[in-house]
Amino acid sequence: MRDIREIAELLDALEGQPTSSLEAQDLDFKEWNRRSTASAVDLVVEMAVCMANGGGGTVVFGVNDKTVGRAGAIRGVPPEIDVNRLKKAVYDGTDPKLTPVFQELPVPEGTGRLLVMQIHPGLPPYTDTQGRGKIRVGTDCQPLTGTLRRRVMIETGETDFTATEVAGRIETLVSAAAMERLREAARRERAPDDLLKLPDRDLLAALGLIRNGRLLRAGVFLAGTTDAIRAQFPGYAWTHLRMSSDVDYSDRADGQEALIVALERMLDRIMADNPITTVPQGLFHFEIRTYPEIALREALLNAFVHADYRMHGPIMVKQFMRRIEISNPGGLPGGITPQNILRHTPVPRNPALVDALTRLRLVNRSNLGVRRMYQSLLIEGKEPPQILDEGEAVRVLLRASDLSVPFRLFVAAEADRGAMLGVEQLLILQHLLRHPEIDTATAALITQQTEADARETLSVMERDLGYTERGGAGRGTYWVLRSDLHRRLAAPGHPERDRRIDWESAKTRVLSVLRQRAQKNEPGLTNAEVRGITHLDRAQVKRLMAELALEGAASLEGRGRGAAWVLKQGKD
């Protein structure tokens, strides 16, 4: 959820873009219907249900999400609308009951008042009292169809497929060899010895895998025989392909073994074709794989743990020459997206399975697996994983980036002096090695933080760690990597860093063209034309034109594809 301060800061960005461009999984803007209070209240209830089903979030009422510019976008909420009555309307109109938190945000535009509704995460699915419901998916509220309702129930554990009891004697369902492999894996992760010394049946009970004297499906999947797994998980299999091209493979392996056995077999096959780079350091030589084993293990574990085993489809690994793709059936659960996966509260699709693996310390509940993937790649100067939600499947791409020896040694040296670099700092450092500068908005985007948190991360890197230097002021503030640190971290033969963007020169060029067009009564400049003139990317053009609008030098006319920047009157 977003706090009032962050919402106020976001509203300042409306001069150069519509509010819809600021919306996210946990944030929406809605105009208040002044013609019908009843319709407006119905929208409040609808949005409360939508956000609750999507994992919670913030809705700002009183803002048109299509208009560019604060004056036109911020319409406000009438002063006679009572917050307590709205809260009661949501409570009375939802099932199960929702109790939102409403906050007032004073603004100089419109009625002078916005209402901010905060919806805390709960236990979906939620509907209104008529049984109607929507769910937040990305930036849209989609109807809570039967398929989506089933998905929500699975993700919240209400219908945990792995928690179902299995008929039959436990001893005939469990593989002794798989149990020993499970113990060995847990021992490597330093699971409690007194737990691992228990007999098989007692261990399964301690892991919560026996109920009413019967084994749960999760127990079958963790340590069952192949026959038991085929009977209880008919849609499950794993496949590893060595790809010779995008459509052909040279080698294939398949299986339906217990999770821990399948994980080890797949890792062995991947590691057999995972090149090693030797890094000399003093008297020692360290061997570093192209794909860190930690990243591979966490990606595979995530695929097994979060797969939807009601669907037919394999845990698939495609190993190409320069990348590895790991996929599993079932989309990202419970409001998690590739854009918030580093920070979202964990949402297990198979809670019984996750509980057992957590007790064995093979996974954790703190969403650290994804962060470990990121960190193991970033500390070696490699690209972070790319996570794709494809609706009915999730795909993780690991690319064979080159090892940066200077960066790896730098991270080790910083750790020796007590500076343990987190994922956020690593992402920013890697960005600054590839780009001349970074601003708060870009830092927030790549680290999946709020702008306030990203600003604090950047300040710590400047003030406490001494990695960066600050330039500009206000909304034009930027950070660059210290020159000596850039020279130290850049790979041998890497060209000297380009100078930072000369924003003033870019502004001068744009205003010159706008002036010429105004004198000839020609149309203004589209964002695409500004990119062609300045050679900046989309985000940089958005920032450039927002600054020109704030300075009163240019304004945006029209909407959608017909929108164009023109010279403000009096600036010619």
Q: Is residue 448 located within the same domain as residue 424?
A: yes
Is residue 275 assigned to a domain?
Answer: yes
Lowest mean pLDDT among 22-31, 170-179, 283-292, 463-472: 283-292
Enclosing domain of residue 414 = 405-489
Per-residue model confidence as pLDDT tens digits over 453-504: 999 999 999 999 999 988 776 766 888 898 889 888 876 555 455 555 677 8
Tell me the H-state helices in 379-438. Answer: 405-416, 423-434
Cβ-contact 359, 206 below 8 angstroms? yes
Residues 370 and 427 in one domain: no
123/57 same-domain check = yes
Are 460 and 507 part of one and the same domain? no
The domain boundary, picked from 455, 489, 523, lies at: 489
For the chain, give the longest Cα–Cα distance: 88
Range with the lowest mean pLDDT among 314-318, 361-365, 526-530?
361-365
Cα(63)–Cα(43) distance, rounded to whole angstroms? 14
Asked if 18 and 63 count as a contact pair (C-beta separation under 8 A), the reply is no
Which pLDDT band holds residue 378 (cuts at 50, 70, 90)? very high
> Do 102 and 119 meet the contact criterion of CB atoms below 8 Å apart?
no
**Residue of 321, 475, 374, 448 lying closest to 10 (CA atoms):** 475
pLDDT digits (tens, 9 = 90+) for 305-317: 999 898 888 999 9
Of 29, 81, 78, residue with least CA distance to 51: 29
Q: Do residue 24 and residue 112 come from a single domain?
A: yes
Q: What percent of the chain has pLDDT over 90?
A: 55
CB atoms within 10 A of CB 16: 23
- So what's the pLDDT on residue 236? 95
Query: In this predicted structure, what is the pLDDT of residue 497?
Result: 52
In this structure, which long-range contacts are made by residues 170-174, counting pairs with CB atoms below 8 Å and at least 24 apart in sequence? 170/201, 170/204, 170/210, 170/214, 170/215, 170/219, 171/201, 172/225, 172/228, 173/215, 173/219, 173/220, 173/224, 173/225, 173/228, 174/200, 174/204, 174/215, 174/219, 174/220, 174/223, 174/224, 174/225, 174/228
Among 431, 457, 489, identify where a domain stops: 489
Q: How many residues does this entry show for the chain?
A: 572
Q: Are residues 245 and 372 in the same domain?
A: yes
What's the CATH code of the domain at 77? 3.30.950.30
Q: Work out the pLDDT band at 570, boundaries 50, 70, 90.
A: low
The two structure tokens encoding residue 388:
């794709």
Chain mean position to CA 397: 14
Which pLDDT does position 158 carry in this prediction?
54
| pLDDT of 156 higher than 60 | no
Retrieve residue 322's tokens.
């320069």
Percent of the chain predicted with pLDDT > 70: 93
Question: Residue 249 sits in a domain of what CATH number?
Answer: 3.30.565.60
pLDDT band per the 50, 70, 90 thresholds, residue 261: very high
Confidence label for 14 from pLDDT (cuts 50, 70 and 90): confident
Quick one: pLDDT at residue 303? Answer: 95
User: How high is the pLDDT of residue 215?
Assistant: 97
**Is position 223 within any domain?**
no
pLDDT band at 283 (very low <50, low <70, confident <90, very high): low
* pLDDT, average across residues 537-545: 84
* Domain assignment present for 220: no
Q: How confident is the model at residue 238 (pLDDT cuts 50, 70, 90)?
A: very high
Is residue 351 one of the residues assigned to a domain? no
Do 383 and 268 lie in one domain? The reply is yes
CATH of the domain at 450: 1.10.10.10
- Average pLDDT for 190-209: 95
3-state secondary structure of 300: helix
- Residue 146: the pLDDT is 74
Tell me the CA end-to-end span of the chain in Å, nearest whole number. Answer: 44
What's the mean per-residue pLDDT of the chain?
Answer: 88
Q: What is the mean pLDDT of residues 537-559?
A: 86
Has residue 37 got a pLDDT over 80? Answer: yes
* Better pLDDT: 492 or 129: 129
The pLDDT tens digits of the residues spanning 131-154 come to 999 999 888 899 988 767 766 665
Report the pLDDT value the prediction gives residue 278, as an integer from 0 to 100: 79
Lowest mean pLDDT among 252-261, 263-272, 538-547: 538-547
Please check whether residue 30 lies inside any domain of the structure: yes
What token pair was written down for 428? 């920013």
pTM of model > 0.85: no
Rounded-to-integer distance, Cα 263 and Cα 269, Å: 10
Higher-confidence residue of 104 and 563: namely: 104
- Mark whether 279 and 387 lie in a shared domain: yes
Please identify, among 464, 489, 514, the residue that sits at the C-terminal boundary of a domain.
489
Q: Which pLDDT belongs to residue 220?
A: 97
Residue range 233-241: mean pLDDT, rounded: 95
Looking at the 3D structure of the chain, how many domains does it have?
Answer: 4
Instruction: Tell me if 354 is assigned to some domain.
Output: no
Peptide bond just before 18 cis, omega within 30 deg: no
